[in-house]
Structures are given as C-alpha cells and as structure tokens.
Structure 1
Amino acid sequence: MPVRSYNVLVVGLDGATFDLMLPWIEQGHLPHLNRILRSGARSRLESTIPPITPCAWSSFMTGKNPGKHGLFDFIEPDAKGGFQFTNASYRDGETIWGCLSRHGRRVGVVNVPMTYPPEPVNGFLISGLDTPHEHSGYMYPVEIRQELKDAGIRYRIDQQHLGNMRTNARRRQQLASIFDAETSRTAALQKLSDGRDCDFRMIVYGATDQVQHHFWHFMDETHDKYDADGAKEFRHAIRDTYMHCDEQLGLLLDECDDDTIVIVMSDHGFGPMSNVRLRMNQILRDAGLLTFDEAAAPGRMKQAVAGWIDRLLRSTLSSDMKRTIAGLFPRLRVWFENLDEAKIDWTKTSAYVNEAYRSSPAIWLNRLQDSSDAEVRRMRDDIEHLLLSLVDPKTGGSVISTCHRPQNIYHGPHTAKAPDLLPSWWEDGFLLDQSVAGPNGPPAVERSTAPLEGGVEFAASHRLDGVLMMSGGPIRAEFEFENARIIDVAPTVLYLMGMPIPDDMDGRVLVEALDEEFVETNPIDFEQVEADSIDDSDDARRGFTQDESELIAKRLQALGYIK
C-alpha cells in the first residue's frame, strides 16, 4: 500500500451508546451508521473519569489526560472560596485543529464543546455550548456569521428551555427545536466547507445527550421512574433522535470522497439513573466535616416554597417574559435563587460538595484552610470510608461503589486542581439532591418516590464507555477491537493525515484497527513539543464576565446540569 495521507471527517454524537445504537442498526433504523459499521472498525471508547463533557472533549482534542490539560468540569474553585465557570481558555495544551493549522492544514470545526472563545485556526471554527450568548464572538473568523446569515441559516448555540418540559406539548416543542438546531449545524458545516478545501472537518451533535437525559424513563420499562402514560407518545423519542442524527450523517457522507476517513465517536456513554438521592453536604455535616450557617440558611419551608415558585414560573412564563423579569429585577432574582440553597460556614468546614452543580458530584476539601499533606490524606481516607459505607434504604447494599482520587487517575501539572474525591455516580446511578440545614431536614440518603420532574431531574446520565467507529482508507472492514480510549482519537487522526504526533500526547495510534501493510509502510512519526509554562492567572484566561457567567448558568440549568 503506497505512502499517503487522508482527509478526515469526525462526527461526534454526544453521549451515544452502543447499547442503543447497535440494536437500532440491526433493526434498520440507522442506515448511515450501518454503512460505517459494516465498512469499518469499531470499539467501545473509554472516556475520562469523570465521564463528563468538559473533561472528555478536552481530552479528545488534546490527546491528553485531564492532569495535563487542566479542564475537569464546567466549574472549578476560585481564589475566594467560591466557584467559577470554565471555558476553553482554562485548558492547557494544543488542540488537534491547532496542531493541524500549525502544519498548514485547513480545518473546519462546528459545535465541539469547550471551544469558546474560538481559537484562530487555518479555516473556520464555531464554538460549542460554553458560548455565553448568541451575540458573543463565538465564530472564527468573524465574517462567517454574516455568511451564514446571508445563506438563510439561523444558527443556534444550544437548547435554552429544556427545563420547561412539564407537559407533552412542551416536550413535543423541545424535540422539534432540538432537531431544527442539529439540522442548522449540518447546514452551517456544509455552507462553510463549500469553497474551502478542508483537510479536517468535525461536527458534534448534542441532541443525543440532551434527549437521553430527559426521555429515558419513557423508553425503559425497568426504570425506577418509568412513565407509562408519557411512553404512549415519547417511547421512541431517543430512537427518533438517533435517527435524525443519522440523517445528518448521511448528508455529510454523501460529500465524502474515497480519500476521506470518517470517524463517528461519542465523549461518553449513557444509561438510566436510579431513584436514589443523596444530600452530600448533610452527610458531611453529620460526620462533623461541614457546618451550615443556619442563621443565613433558609428553612425547609422557604426552600420548598422557593422550589414551588420556581417550577410554577418556569412552566407558565414565556421565554421573553423570563428575560424581561430577570433584566428588570436582577436583585430579586439573586434573592430568590439564594433561597433554594443551604449556606455553608466556611470557617468551620473541612469538606463540601457544590450541590448547585448536580451533574457530577465531587468532594472538595476546603482549600482556604491551611492543611498539611498528612491531614489531607487523613481527611480523604475518612471521607472515602464514610461514602463507601452509605446504605441504600431499599436494598441494604452500598450506594457508592468507588471513590476515585486524582493522584491515582491523573498525571500532569494540573492534577492538584482536581476534586479531592470523585464518587462513582456513573457506575452507581444515584443523583444529588439539595441539602437542608437544621435538625429536621429530609434523609441524607433516600429513595425518591415522586414522579420524575420533567426537564429538571435526569432520567439517565453518563457512562464510562462511549462509541468509536472508523471507516475508509486503511481502516479494517467489519472489525471489532477493544481498549480504545478517548485520548487515542487525536493521535490516530494525525497519523492517518500523515502528520507527526506531538510527543506530549498521552494517547496512542490505534494501529490494531488499521491495515497491517499501511502501518508497515507508514511508520509513526513524533515531533518534540516544548512544555508550555503553566499560567493559571486571570490574565492567562478569557474568564466570563458576571453577565456571561449568569448566561452560562442559565444554559446549564436549562440542560439540567445545575439546580
């Protein structure tokens, strides 16, 4: 086989899982994914720990573990003891499109999460869900915004109102809106690629993730909160979403020539959540590790009233009305949102969980305290023992099976920034609930018997294993292999494009999925990369303004990631 390089198209299906995809392929529902499957190689794709969007997509685009790139989540602690939202400027390391641009290759990138602010590339880039607002500068170069507008393409960043899905009519409306948004992404990639000969193109469809989060309990009859009545209309909502994304893939495949390798991947898998609810800060309080500021904390009745008013307003007010109220009465909004939160006395707290951010519960030690290394190790040991001893009130079994420590799963200069303990929610299926200060609060561990709250409470969430399918060029046909990791995709792409692989990448080339003669003819080449100096100062980052942070919070709230 002659020495050569290929163009590459990467299609990301956020949260896609073979558990659903393969049966639907066999049933004939996903013909274009079937084309990739039958003509290429596949493997489950191991995500990062934890398997969440910022961490996983950042590891994909850099080929590095989170200890090197430094992006662990949508949030990270700030210097004042609170939390701040992260974006692409908080990440260390060169992206794959940055590497390709440096070598003179042309790239086109659409909707990859954690790419705001957009970096200058040799081509075009439209950033993903960490974009604060549609009026933000999220396209590079800036003139492509007008180009899309002139072509009649109304590009939307992400879904804004998933939290409104309290009725079937609103669920119907949201599904249609999600499909329209993904169609516009495809149209944007096609339009911007026309006349721009891109060597590498990538697009991510977020619909699979969003719909699985909120519609799984209509599909799965074994779900703890299966909704038989809602299933009459929405049983196939997730399948229909995969089918819509498959149609978008088909449009892109029709444009590919024989010199293009197609890669379909997800950042993590998906599966159902149980009805186990944990109030982690209550657990830490009961162990003497956290103290609530009860003088500042709302009582249980106020929290309940705040939650009820919130649900009422979300379900009755239009989007324009909500924006108007938020603009006219910002202090009222802040006061109201603070009602639904148990306050922490930081002077008497050693460990805590940010319960407002519920998608990936993490234990943080209070870094405002001056603790020795020995004290930190002891606290981690004590907290791990505490969490592993929690008991399911229904089964009597363990609620948490594993607690991961950063030094055991990461390596690199940013490891110290990681959470101190990561309970294995993606394996155990529990969800975080809001703690209540005071002696008469709800149980710290309980089984929720209330119907699932549409658009607010996750029916399903992430799993460690995503999907990887590759087709074209030297990719082996109808070949199944194992042990692919999300950090392996970038070096594999660079190799297939005839590029040297930066020697600071942690991933490897997936040679087992390639024709042996091609590998023998094309030895893997590396380039030495000088280690960047680590600069975590505010000047090194394009942090969000207060207004932008509020917009990001609202988007993550709409998606169900924060309370």
Structure 2
Amino acid sequence: MAKEKKILFLGLDAAMPDLVKKFVAEGAMPNTAKLMDQGVFSRLETVFPPLTAAAWTAIVSGAGSGTNGVPSLMVKHPGEELDHWHTSFDRNEVLCETLWDVGIKKGKKVALVNWPVTFPMGAINEENGCQLAGALNPPFRYFFMPLWDVASSACFSNKLLHCNQIPGRAVKLETKPAEGWKNLPASKKPHLEFEITVPPTYVKGYKMQVLVYASSDEGYDRMLVSESKDAKVAITDITLGEYGPWITRNFDARDYNRNGRFRFQILELSKDGKDFKLYQSSINMADPYSVPASLSKEVEKVAGTYMEVDDPWAFMDGWMSSDLYLEQLGLHANWWGTATKHVLENQAWDMAFSWVGTIDHVEHALYSGIEPTSRVYNEKTAPFCWHMIRETYRQVDQNIGKILEAVDLNETYVVLISDHGMTHLDWNPFVKEHLQRAGLLKYNLDLSTDDPSNLSIDWKHTKCHPLEPCHAHIFINLKGRDPQGIVEPKDYEKVQEEIINCLMGMKNPENGKNVVAYALKKKEAARLGIYEGPGFDRVGDVLYAWNPGYMSHPFIYRTAIKYRDGSERVRANPELYEQAILCKNFPELIKETVAENGGDHSAVCGNFTGVHLAEPTLHDMHACMLMVGPGVPKYERKFPARIIDVCPTLSKLLKIDVPKDAEGGVLYDVLDRIEK
C-alpha cells in the first residue's frame, strides 16, 4: 500500500509574485528558484478585504469572510456597541472548518508553527499534534497599537524623538551625576544616571535605574540597568549595539495579568555621555506558548527566544538605523526557519503550517519607495528601498532552504503561499471626519489629552460608525438592532446610499480623483465573494474598497492654533487627509523630504507607505502559490486562481474531505498534471 503523503505550508506574508520572480531571476532567492524549477506556480486573487487574518483564514478553510467569520482586522459581534470590536487574530472568532480540522478527523498529526489566527493555545492538543506560538496573537486589542502581547517598544533619549505610534513611547530625559549607588563598576569618567519606567505607557511599568559609565579612556561606552541603585544586581550591562539579556516581569495590563519579556539595546551613546538612545524592545509574552509546553524550551535552545513581532515602527520613526532593522528582520526570519526545522525533525506530523511576517513589515514601511506611481517615490532613494526589501526576501529564502533540509520532497507536498500583495500609500483619509461632515457621525474630542482614546461618539446624532480601523465595513446605527440605534428600519437603504455618496465623494486633495474604488450595500456583498454564511451578520451594512494609494486614518488629532502674542487655542484637527511620508532613516531621504516640506525637519516622520486595502483583483494585490512534491511538474498557470481554491485543491490531492464550509473550487488543471 502506498505511503500517504505529507503536506507542509510555508506562509510568507505579503510575498508578491512579481517580486518573487524578480528576486529569483537576480539570484537573491536561490532556494525558491530551485522550487520554481520543479513545481507549480500561480498568482492568487485574495479575499475582500485583503487583510492578514481574513486571508490566512480563507487559505486554510476555502471560505470567505461571510462564512469564516473573520471580516477584517477586527470583528464586530451583533448586539454590541458599534465602536466595540474583537481582534480577528483570535482563533475563537473563526466559525468555519479548517484543513487541519479535517486532517485530525482522519487521524493525521498536525504541526502549527507561528500560524496566524491560532492563538490562544489549544487549536491543537498533544494527542493530534503540536503547536508553537501564534503570529499576531491576541490580545491585539487596540487597533492604534503595534502588534505585541503586553506592551510596545520604547526609546529613552535626551532628544525629542518622533513617535508616530502611541504617545509616550518616546521619552525625553537627561543624564545627571550618579548618586546613592552601591558596587559601582570602574569608570574612567564620572558615573552618570537617569531613571526610566518600563514600559513608559500603556500598562503599569517598573521603575528602573540606568547607570552610564566609561570602561576605557575614550569616553562613555556602557549602560547598566538595575531595579535598585545597586550595580551588583544589574539586570543589564551592555555597550553600544549589544543586545542585553531577556528580562521577564509580571504585568498588570488593562484586562489581564501575565508575564512579559523584553530586553535593552543602546542605539546611541556619545563619548561625552550627553547624547544617547536606550531602546526597550516590545514586551512579548513570556507565558507558555506551545503544545506540549515543553516544546517552548526545546525550541529556545536551538532558535532563541520567541519574539512576537519585529519593530518597523522604531525604524520608521528613526530610532534605529536601517542596518539594525534589517538585522532585526533577520533574527525573526532565522527564528522561524530554525524553529520550523526543529519541529519538523522532532515532532510527529502529517500536515504542517508555518508562517513568517517579515516581508509584510518591510513592504509596509518602504513599498512606496520602489513604486514609481507613488507621490513619495524618488529615484535617489529607490536603491535603498529596493535593497531593504530584497534583503528581507533573501533572509526568508535562506530559511526556506534550512527548513527544506528536514523535508523529503518524494513524500511531502510543500506549498509556499502568501496572503495578499501590496500597493503604495499616498494619503490617509480621516474617515470619521468625512462622515461627520456628511452628517452621518458625530464625535466628541477631549482636547486635554493626546491619548488616542480621547474620542467618544455622540450616539444620539450618529447614523453610522466604521469598523475599526475604518477598513472596508461601515455599520448603520439601526434602531431595534443596535444598542443605541437611531436609524429607523424604513430609512436603512436611504442611509446606506448617504454613506455610499459620502465615500464616493472623497477626492484626492491634489488631483481630485476618487479615493474609494467602489462602495456597495450589504445585499450586494456576493459581488465581493462575501456570501450569507455563519459570519454574514459580522459584515458591514456598507462595504467599500480603496483605490491604490489610500488607507483610512482612524484618529482625530488635536491641533493648536498659535496667536501673535504667544497664546494658543486647541481644537480638533480640521484636515481631511494626512499625507504618507517615507521613513526618515536614509540620509538622502531626509534631505529630500525636508526640502519637500519647506525645510521643516520636524515634518520628517515615518509612517506606512505600503498597504493592502485595494481591490483584490488588481495585479499588485495578487498573492502567490508555489507547490512542489511527488509527481508535481513544472507548470505556471496562465491566469490567477482564487485564494479560496487552494484548500479544496489540496484536500483532493491528499484524498481527504474538503472542509465543509469551503466556497472555493478545485484547480483540476493542477491536479491533472500531477503524476499519481
């Protein structure tokens, strides 16, 4: 009897088919090149909206968001306030059957490595396989936050640093002569000190003392961190660029208590001790993150400590250099490759699913830098952006090679797959402000604080509210359905039309072109591949897609109007759009961007310049699939498949049932070419 074949998914978030082909041709992805020479390659049309959790759920289920229950970055449950939501990365939000659910029923062993929408632990138990971590794991509770588990990164400096995400993360302070310390290390210059709180914002932090000293005659070169003024019990003692040891502490977050893990790194330290930047990494979960629990320690011995996410925000805000961020991306890719290889070699498995997200992050930061149609594209800075993106693909490819060392292609189908493509970003429309001016929403802004939660909704005068963070779905405040509903059911379609008119009336502030590609009523959702399945009541009353170059802005900022006498008045920001700015780290980029902003260096602040919110059918929004294995020939499909077709096709290939909720079809042109 023929031995049953295994299958290994390698999920490469945001890997773009054209870039994969380009880097393969250039020799930057030799391992992928070998696979392309012997396997099936296809472009894939992704789901609507083309977002991470929605797309990865569709890949493993064959079902779109009307069925799988994951409609966007966030999930709104019926009957809850319109501005209340749940993270879509919580596996408990998934309403459909997955490929591994079917496999387990057939007695197959499943291995999940950092796969999205599989956290909290428990998607797999010890009887049917193993699980290691879960990318973008909950609690990803507050949409304006970067992705972490306890708290974000922070930077302590004598300079006022940019901080495009979360006020309070960049802390300005000064060194002063050290006083009251015990067991001081030898120093060629007088010891200096400053106090920090870790983390400085979001959750209650720990007070820590930082000692700056000079181990040589050249000047200050080391920092020591202690929770008391006793250098003998220091938790970190590092020099410039060096990574400190991982530190575990218990944190009281807003809605839970758990252990978190972080470390320090000196990003800058002048010889006179005046200029410095001390970086605190994101505080990632330190509680068990594997099934069985022992697997976490096993993997840490070979791959190092699990970090939930790299930190593009520190790079975009100019805290860390491009070289250092590229190194950080490499650390994540290496953890992925080493951890995956260890699981494949040491755990029983028939079906394995492993994911890496570094390509997505570098493209979010720099994609406009390689896209000539972007308003921030510059020929002088394009080589730098190409280098960063190419090297990230190269890092991932190196680890694909590492993983394949543990795989027998004569008995295993290997599927390299991505979830969506990427487009440039020019402008962030303030969606709530647009809706307010159209008389559809009324907000109140607390002008006394910069906290992003300073905005509240006046429900008595609000007809609709977007699903945070204002991507793709808008819900009507319907009487009899929603807690504070004001729209009469008879006026439901009228308000839908008012919302659509508002969205389609939004124009590019420079050229007057539409920023929204289309906006549809919920009853038309099938045109977007959203059908009336178990998750349909989570779908907005109006759905819309952005044209390339746009991503909604969920905030309303405060702004100050200054008068000649020095006084000022604070009010809500009246702007309708915020421009995207390519991050500031590349010296030539700073020069060019400053010139474009009238010489104002303060205007040079990094934010996303790549997004994936445009129509899924667009060329640049395509994902890709590369499959190799026993009997699989070299073959490139002429036309794109749909991302929901992958699961049914592989189910047939493995001779198992198609997940019962699948909506996709079988790619018989692929199956018919595989030797049985």
TM range (shorter): 0.7 to 0.9
Tell me whether 485-494 or 445-454 shows the greater mean CA deviation: 445-454
Between the aligned partners of 1:174 and 1:183, the Cα distance in structure 2 is 14
Q: Once the 2 structures are TM-superposed, how far is the Cα of residue 184 of structure 1 from its aligned partner?
A: 0.9
Distance 1:498 1:147, change over 3 A: same
Contact in 1 for aligned 2:505/2:514 (Cα 8 Å): yes
Structure 1 stretches of 4+ with a deviation exceeding 6 A read 437-440
Corresponding residue number in structure 2 for 1:250: 401
- 1:94-113 matched pairs, under 5 angstroms: 94-113=97-116
Q: Once the 2 structures are TM-superposed, how far is the Cα of residue 354 of structure 1 from its aligned partner?
A: 5.3
Q: Would you tell me which structure has more strand in proportion to its own residues?
A: 2
Corresponding residue number in structure 1 for 2:184: none
Residue aligned with 1:112, SS? coil
Between the aligned partners of 1:49 and 1:210, the Cα distance in structure 2 is 20
Does 2:413 align with 1:261? yes
TM-score by length of 2: 0.65
Per-residue CA deviation, residues 172-215 of structure 1 (Å, 9 max, x unaligned), is 32221121112112211211222334222221110010010002
- 1:269-284 matched pairs, under 5 angstroms: 269-274=421-426, 276-284=427-435
Between the aligned partners of 2:46 and 2:582, the Cα distance in structure 1 is 31
Does 2:91 align with 1:88? yes
Corresponding residue number in structure 2 for 1:47: 46
| Equivalent AA in structure 1 for residue 137 of structure 2 | D
Does 2:607 align with 1:457? yes
Corresponding residue number in structure 2 for 1:298: 446
Q: Once the 2 structures are TM-superposed, how far is the Cα of residue 389 of structure 1 from its aligned partner?
A: 2.3
Corresponding residue number in structure 2 for 1:193: 344
- 1:24-35 matched pairs, under 5 angstroms: 24-35=23-34
Corresponding residue number in structure 1 for 2:456: 343
Corresponding residue number in structure 2 for 1:365: 476
Distance 1:498 1:227, change over 3 A: same
Distance 1:174 1:428, change over 3 A: closer
Q: Once the 2 structures are TM-superposed, how far is the Cα of residue 298 of structure 1 from its aligned partner?
A: 3.2
Q: Once the 2 structures are TM-superposed, how far is the Cα of residue 479 of structure 1 from its aligned partner?
A: 2.6
Contact in 2 for aligned 1:111/1:204 (Cα 8 Å): yes
Q: Once the 2 structures are TM-superposed, how far is the Cα of residue 232 of structure 1 from its aligned partner?
A: 6.3
Contact in 2 for aligned 1:262/1:470 (Cα 8 Å): yes
Between the aligned partners of 2:610 and 2:581, the Cα distance in structure 1 is 16
Distance 1:220 1:264, change over 3 A: same
TM-score by length of 1: 0.77
Residue aligned with 2:63, SS? coil
Does 2:466 align with 1:353? yes
Structure number with bigger Rg? 2
Residue aligned with 2:338, SS? helix
Tell me which of the two structures has the higher relative contact order, counting C-alpha pairs closer than 8 angstroms and 6 or more residues apart.
1
Over the matched positions of the two proteins, sequence identity in percent amounts to 23
Counterpart of 2:534 (choices 413, 425, 438) is: 413
List alignment gaps of at least 5 residues for structure 1: 307-335, 522-563
Between the aligned partners of 1:219 and 1:148, the Cα distance in structure 2 is 36
Q: Once the 2 structures are TM-superposed, how far is the Cα of residue 499 of structure 1 from its aligned partner?
A: 1.4
Per-residue CA deviation, residues 508-530 of structure 1 (Å, 9 max, x unaligned), is 22221123575xx7xxxxxxxxx
Between the aligned partners of 2:435 and 2:106, the Cα distance in structure 1 is 51
Corresponding residue number in structure 1 for 2:555: 434
Residue aligned with 2:85, SS? strand
Does 2:595 align with 1:479? no
Contact in 1 for aligned 2:425/2:609 (Cα 8 Å): yes
Distance 1:472 1:449, change over 3 A: closer
Distance 1:164 1:83, change over 3 A: farther
Corresponding residue number in structure 2 for 1:423: 544
Per-residue CA deviation, residues 79-128 of structure 1 (Å, 9 max, x unaligned), is 24432332111111222222212211122111111110131242111222
Distance 1:451 1:155, change over 3 A: closer
Q: Once the 2 structures are TM-superposed, how far is the Cα of residue 265 of structure 1 from its aligned partner?
A: 0.8
Per-residue CA deviation, residues 10-36 of structure 1 (Å, 9 max, x unaligned), is 111101112322222222221222222
Residue aligned with 1:33, SS? helix
- 1:189-228 matched pairs, under 5 angstroms: 189-226=340-377
Q: Once the 2 structures are TM-superposed, how far is the Cα of residue 266 of structure 1 from its aligned partner?
A: 0.6
Q: Would you tell me which structure has more helix in proportion to its own residues?
A: 1
Between the aligned partners of 2:411 and 2:50, the Cα distance in structure 1 is 33
Q: CA RMSD in A?
A: 2.9
| Equivalent AA in structure 2 for residue 504 of structure 1 | D
Matched length? 477
Between the aligned partners of 1:234 and 1:397, the Cα distance in structure 2 is 27
Between the aligned partners of 1:451 and 1:261, the Cα distance in structure 2 is 40
Tell me whether 379-388 or 490-499 shows the greater mean CA deviation: 490-499
Counterpart of 2:124 (choices 103, 120, 123) is: 120
Does 2:129 align with 1:129? no
Corresponding residue number in structure 1 for 2:515: 399
Contact in 1 for aligned 2:333/2:358 (Cα 8 Å): yes
Counterpart of 1:508 (choices 647, 665, 668) is: 665
Tell me whether 242-251 or 454-463 shows the greater mean CA deviation: 454-463
Residue aligned with 1:487, SS? helix
Corresponding residue number in structure 2 for 1:548: none
Corresponding residue number in structure 1 for 2:253: none
Contact in 2 for aligned 1:16/1:467 (Cα 8 Å): yes
| Equivalent AA in structure 2 for residue 130 of structure 1 | N
Q: Once the 2 structures are TM-superposed, how far is the Cα of residue 236 of structure 1 from its aligned partner?
A: 0.8
Q: Once the 2 structures are TM-superposed, how far is the Cα of residue 41 of structure 1 from its aligned partner?
A: 1.7
Contact in 1 for aligned 2:72/2:472 (Cα 8 Å): no
- 1:483-498 matched pairs, under 5 angstroms: 483-498=640-655
Corresponding residue number in structure 1 for 2:10: 11
Between the aligned partners of 1:14 and 1:168, the Cα distance in structure 2 is 25
Between the aligned partners of 1:394 and 1:110, the Cα distance in structure 2 is 45
Q: Once the 2 structures are TM-superposed, how far is the Cα of residue 405 of structure 1 from its aligned partner?
A: 4.0
Counterpart of 1:149 (choices 272, 275, 300) is: 300
List alignment gaps of at least 5 residues for structure 2: 139-148, 150-283, 560-569, 586-604, 617-621
Between the aligned partners of 1:267 and 1:161, the Cα distance in structure 2 is 20
Distance 1:346 1:489, change over 3 A: same
